[in-house]
A = this chain, B = another copy of it.
Amino acid sequence: MLVDFKRPSSHIKYLSSLTSDDWINLALSNPIEILIDHAHCERKAAGVAIQLMFRYPAEPSLAEVLSPIAREELEHFEKIIYFLKDLGHSLKAIKPPPYGAELAKNIRKEEPNRMLDSFLIAGLIEARSHERLSLLALNSENKSFKFMYESLLESEARHFGIYWKLANTKFPKEETYKRLDELSKVESEILSKTFFLPRVHS
């Protein structure tokens, strides 16, 4: 299939690469699998926010922002489950792409670097989800899927902003920019290695 896909007029500028037409094509052809995968992404993102709350239980002003993120991820998780249910589908375990595990390998072990990397990687994942859900919302011809993608994507950008702000509140600006640049290149590099199943982060 050769089409000119619509591209969003703006995207989160910190991503080092834009998503390929091949991915858009694969994802648009497999909307159910993409949504099941995205439900798992929301569940995992809630898990990450809560994990950070556990790791730094007394860090000032951290729980106040992470807890609402976790709640919103869970709301979206439920929203997708019910959407799928209406279509006769249900949540199932599916093979995840290597994306999350590969990214996590880049979290440095010692504090406070571990905290900085955790914030930035959580943010980059949200940024990439936002870019890809925007592409799906723009190019999907099925209205109910289109609305679904639209209803999910705004919070992904907002969550990126929250993680980025957290990083910049707790670390010097120069350090966060430098490290985000490094991790953003790693993120694009991971996505450049093709994973042949339709996933949000394949």
Which residues on A are within 8 Å of B, measured CB to CB? 40, 43, 46-47, 50, 53-54, 57-58, 60, 63-64, 67-68, 70-71, 74-75, 77-78, 81-82, 90-93
Q: Is the CB of B46 within 8 A of A91?
A: no
**Chain B hits for A90, CB < 8 A:** 58, 60
Q: Using A58-B90, A60-B90 as known contacts, list a sample of 4 further A-B pairs with CB atoms less than 8 Å apart, ordered by residue number in A.
A: A43-B54, A46-B70, A57-B91, A63-B77
Interface of A is mostly: helix
Copies in the complex: 2
Are B57 and A53 closer than 8 Å at their CB atoms?
no
What are the residues of chain B within 8 A of A54 when measuring CB–CB? 43, 47
Residues of B within 8 A of A43 (CB): 50, 53-54, 57, 63, 67
B46 touches A93 (CB 8 A): no
Q: A50-B46, A53-B43, A74-B71 are in contact. Are A81 and B64 (CB under 8 A)?
A: yes
Q: Min CB distance, A152 to chain B, in Å?
A: 15
